[in-house]
A and B are shown apart, each in its own frame.
Chain A
Amino acid sequence: AQKVTQAQTEISVVEKEDVTLDCVYETRDTTYYLFWYKQPPSGELVFLIRRNSFDEQNEISGRYSWNFQKSTSSFNFTITASQVVDSAVYFCALKTTSGTYKYIFGTGTRLKVLA
């Protein structure tokens, strides 16, 4: 079975704090892809990152960084020095190559950054 778990339903932080959003996935496939999306109040899901299962290098993009660990089946997302504009719902997603067209989404984590 394939599954994505985002155990944190909602997180509140004060501006400039660092925050980590957790994502744990389940799959038996050896080739798969992981994604993070941001959904601001306007509604559109904005693509943030795509990572394949063979690339465990951590990635940093400005204040955003991602930690991919196959050993723990996790793909966590950290925002450094959070800002009010980071307030949004963040979704983690999984896509395998086992013939299915389905992308498996987590239920999302709502991040509130307080000024």
Chain B
Amino acid sequence: DVKVTQSSRYLVKRTGEKVFLECVQDMDHENMFWYRQDPGLGLRLIYFSYDVKMKEKGDIPEGYSVSREKKERFSLILESASTNQTSMYLCASSLPVDSGNTIYFGEGSWLTVV
């Protein structure tokens, strides 16, 4: 079974703090994703990575950065957290996307910025 693990399920951070959300997958998938989920807005893609050190901006990259130093690990970074970044964050991974491969999600990280 594919396993995508997000290190923190629930976080509370203060405005202006630097926040790291970590994600690890164990299926040797090339691709990894970070999504944000908000009520009524569905899932919005923040960043996508198709290889180590390679990344593409998604639909809402502003205020976020990512790091992929190893194939299995993809980190989402909030350089200076703001209250409008309070949300649920979902990490996912997949085999190459060209063939419409299934993406598998982690359990999600609920972030509250106060």
Contact = CB atoms under 8 A, between A and B. Distances in A.
Interface of A: 31-33, 35, 37, 42-47, 50, 52, 91, 95-97, 101-103, 105-108
Contacts, number: 54
B90 A45 contact: yes
A37 B48 CA distance: 20
Interface stretch (B15-23, B38-46, B60-68, B69-77): B38-46
Contact of B45 (A46, A95, A102): A102
Nearest to B96: A101
B105 to A, nearest CB: 4
Contact of A107 (B41, B103, B104): B41
A25 to B, nearest CB: 13
Contact of B100 (A42, A95, A107, A108): A95
Please indicate which of the listed interface residues B31, B56, B97, B98 has the most CB atoms of chain A within 10 Å of its own CB: B97
Contact of A50 (B31, B40, B48, B102): B102
Given A95-B97, A108-B42, A47 B106 contact: no
For B41, B43, B99, which residue has the most chain A Cβ atoms within 10 angstroms?
A: B43
Contacts of A45: 90, 92, 105
Contact of A43 (B40, B41, B108): B108
The listed residue with most A CB atoms (<10 A of its CB), out of B48, B105, B106, is B105
Nearest to A32: B100
A109 to B, nearest CB: 11
A107 B44 CA distance: 10
